[in-house]
Amino acid sequence: MEEEHRFTNREIADILAGVGARLQILDANKFRVIAFQNAAENIRNLAQDINTLDEQGALKSIPGVGNALADAIHALLADGYDAEFDALAAQVPQGVVDMMQIPDMGPKKAKRLWEELGIDSVEALRGAAERGELRDLKGFGAKSEEKILKGIELIGQRTDERLPIGVVRPLALGLVAGLEHALPAHTLQRIEVAGSLRRWKETIGDVDILCVSADAAAVMAAFKNLPEVSRVGSGETKTSVVLGNGLQVDLRVVDAQHWGAALQYFTGSKEHNVAVRELAQKSGWSLNEYGLTATDDGEAPAGQVLFFPSEEEVYAFLGLEWIPPELRENRGEVAAARRNGLPRLITRADIRGELHGHTTWSDGTESVAAMAAAAMARGYRYWAVTDHSVGLGIVQGVDGERLRKQRAEIDAVNSQWAEEGIDFALLQGSEVEILADGTLGLPDDVLAKLDVAVASIHSAQRQDRDTITARTLRAIENPYIDILGHPTGRLLGSRPPTELDMERVLAACAATGTIVEINANPARLDVNDIYARRAIELGCKIAINCDAHAAVEMNLLEYGIGVARRAWLTAADVVNTLPPQALLSQLKRNRRSA
Ligand code: DGT
Ligand code: CA
Ligand code: CA
Ligand code: ZN
């Protein structure tokens, strides 16, 4: 890709984070360090291109960027360097800063390794650890060498530049809206996001946008001029740009007659396309992004070309039902479509309520009444308040005594609505902490009084496989635990899943009637599509919950629906598609006597 020399948001963020790290190593004022770290994070997550902000004189609109930082960033963008940053860089080598990327390697340790052993890069550190030289240092032993080597291996695997769908999707939709806004009416006949984003994959490598237009040149020009775009390159059939946060976006303008084949091709996945192409080949057709061409092996005259204005027609011509993009991973969907056996996938409209959400009683930002009003406004018929139980460290949890007070508040809200003839049930629940020893954050007699209980883990997540599995199984076996919340604890892009033995956990959920959660928060998406599908195979039921800590987070439901659809789930697999009474009778606590 040809490119002008311009810094991306990510590069600026890296430079500022590097300054923060060097200041830490040099024992600078704590607040100065935090200022650089904050500014770096805010710039990393910025949708607008920082160069554009600079041109508008609006750098100070970035949270955490004051006068001095704005001047320094302006110098970086204009001249490519900042004198003060360069002086700092000369004092502490980049390799020492890189060492701080290793888990558990804070500035103090990095500084000692550098000053006392002269280690000034991750590579040098690896060598020294392998040769057993770190144990000479006071406070370091064979164990810490092992830990450091494991950590280096971990950061080596982080080369993967994929971004979570929760970051990419709003940006991609913003670009589409921006293009529509920038172009005269009717210039775009069609526009659609294809690729992994259309398939709702949990992480996205790059965004693929397809459109039909009579004026391809105008579309490409408008695309390159979008404010989020920071670098531009182009090829023969597509324009690629890179956004401020490093995300690549490919835009292709195709002929209307090629639309069906193009959308099918660029939606992927590659594996799905291979399976579809093989099927076409068997009946004498070769499929590409333009259409079908008859080969020598079929009945049609070789070289005959067929075009399809819609994707449905491509699949229909090959004897297949139209396959929803979420299923296109070559996991049996082509065979199922051939025998008209695709599942009727769950949709957002099927959801009638949620069973996991927070209020100001714990770490939510809105009141019980405000969250319930938001749930009602979405057409829900029920919503469960499940504030954190005690046992969660810094978050003030809700104990038996506070739950009693909360119950009075919930009862009052419910009877008010009943009087007004509003059909909505606010349920009282708890997100109960599964403590490190496998006991729960609330005793059974308190759990028994709730309408619903979600159990989850937020602490001691690095326990070994046997310990954390036994701990989780114990919660699943509790008769008052209805739902297992975000089972693997992973945070996309920042924290790996726990070592939980999911096969055993899901089997235990099936055996006990414990519902498995798909946590819809795009930072979690937990369980993922693979485990959700396995859960259903083993006989579990699923709940899809936003785990909302603010009303606006109820919008995240669509990400959970994406996971569920990728797992082949129908409405019947998901308990919160049920009306209130039927839902309650599905909860484990209410099924024991049945
Ligand atoms: P990503 O970007 O890594 O998240 O995943 P995709 O699926 O969006 O992959 P991408 O952007 O490389 O390509 C978009 C679609 O275009 C892909 O899903 C299938 C199609 N495609 C791209 N390259 C090939 C290819 O070499 N063979 C076939 N059959 N299809 C391809
Ligand atoms: Ca892609
Ligand atoms: Ca692509
Ligand atoms: Zn929660």
Superfamily of domain 9-157: 5' to 3' exonuclease, C-terminal subdomain (1.10.150.20)
Q: Nearest ligand, CA of residue 548? A: 4
DSSP 300: S
**Cα-to-centroid distance, 163 and ligand 3 (Å):** 14
**Given the CA of residue 196, which atom of ligand 1 is nearest to it?**
8
**Cα-to-centroid distance, 352 and ligand 3 (Å):** 36
Q: Which residues pair with 545 in a beta bridge?
A: 519
**Cα-to-centroid distance, 580 and ligand 3 (Å):** 44
Give residues with Cβ within 8 angstroms of 105, minimum separation 6.
Answer: 99, 148, 151
Q: Cβ distance 22 to 93 under 8 Å? A: no
> Looking at residue 8, what is its pLDDT?
82
HSE, CB side, 13 Å, CA atoms: give it for residue 296: 0
**Cα-to-centroid distance, 355 and ligand 4 (Å):** 10
Pocket of ligand 1 from Cβ distances under 6 Å: 195-196, 201, 204-206, 208, 265-266, 268-270, 273-274
Q: Whose CA is nearest to atom 31 of ligand 1?
A: 270
Give residues with Cβ within 8 angstroms of 282, minimum separation 6.
Answer: none
**Cα-to-centroid distance, 12 and ligand 2 (Å):** 25
**Cα-to-centroid distance, 392 and ligand 4 (Å):** 11
**Given the CA of residue 269, which atom of ligand 1 is nearest to it?**
18
**Cα-to-centroid distance, 207 and ligand 2 (Å):** 5
**Given the CA of residue 265, which atom of ligand 1 is nearest to it?**
20
> Looking at residue 63, what is its pLDDT?
86
Q: Whose CA is nearest to atom 28 of ligand 1?
A: 270
> Looking at residue 394, what is its pLDDT?
64
Q: Whose CA is nearest to atom 1 of ligand 1?
A: 205
Class of domain 163-254: alpha beta
> CA–CA distance from 434 to each of 505, 513, 548 (Å)?
14, 18, 20
Residue by residue, pLDDT tens for the chain (594 residues) are 434 567 888 889 999 999 999 999 999 988 899 899 889 988 887 777 898 899 999 999 998 899 999 999 999 999 888 888 989 999 999 999 999 988 778 899 999 999 999 999 999 999 999 999 999 888 899 989 998 998 888 776 554 578 999 999 999 999 999 999 999 999 999 999 999 999 999 999 999 999 999 999 999 999 999 999 988 876 667 899 988 888 999 999 999 999 999 999 999 999 999 999 999 999 999 999 999 999 998 899 999 999 999 999 999 999 999 999 999 999 999 999 999 999 999 999 999 999 999 999 999 999 999 999 999 999 999 999 999 998 776 677 899 999 999 999 999 999 999 999 999 999 999 999 999 999 999 999 999 999 999 999 999 998 999 999 999 999 999 999 999 999 999 999 888 899 999 999 999 999 999 999 999 999 999 999 999 999 999 999 999 999 999 999 999 999 999 999 999 999 999 999 999 999 999 999 998 654
**Cα-to-centroid distance, 163 and ligand 2 (Å):** 11
> Looking at residue 236, what is its pLDDT?
67
Secondary structure of residue 396 in the 3-state scheme: coil
For the chain, the domains span 9-157, 163-254, 261-338, 348-593
**Cα-to-centroid distance, 358 and ligand 4 (Å):** 6
Q: Whose CA is nearest to atom 27 of ligand 1?
A: 270
Could you please report the per-residue DSSP string of 391-440? -STTS--B-HHHHHHHHHHHHHHHHHHHHHT---EEEEEEEEEB-TTS-B
The pTM (predicted TM-score) of the whole model is 0.79
> Looking at residue 593, what is its pLDDT?
55
> Looking at residue 3, what is its pLDDT?
44
Secondary structure of residue 141 in the 3-state scheme: coil
Q: What is the pLDDT of residues 489-523, one digit of tens each?
A: 999 988 889 999 999 999 999 999 999 999 999 99
**Given the CA of residue 250, which atom of ligand 1 is nearest to it?**
11
Secondary structure of residue 223 in the 3-state scheme: helix
Given the structure tokens 């209130």, which residue do they identify? Answer: 580
Q: Is domain 261-338 in CATH 3.40.50.300, yes or no?
A: no
Q: Whose CA is nearest to atom 9 of ligand 1?
A: 195
CATH number corresponding to 348-593: 3.20.20.140
**Cα-to-centroid distance, 484 and ligand 4 (Å):** 11
> Looking at residue 592, what is its pLDDT?
63
Mutation test of ligand 1: which of 163, 168, 250, 266 has the most ligand atoms closer than 8 Å to its C-beta?
A: 266
Residue ranges in 80-121 assigned as alpha helix (H)? 83-91, 94-99, 107-117
| Nearest to 381, CA basis, from 424, 441, 349 | 424
**Given the CA of residue 208, which atom of ligand 1 is nearest to it?**
11
> Looking at residue 594, what is its pLDDT?
47
Mutation test of ligand 1: which of 237, 270, 314 has the most ligand atoms closer than 8 Å to its C-beta?
A: 270
Mutation test of ligand 1: which of 272, 273, 328 has the most ligand atoms closer than 8 Å to its C-beta?
A: 273
Q: Nearest ligand, CA of residue 272? A: 1
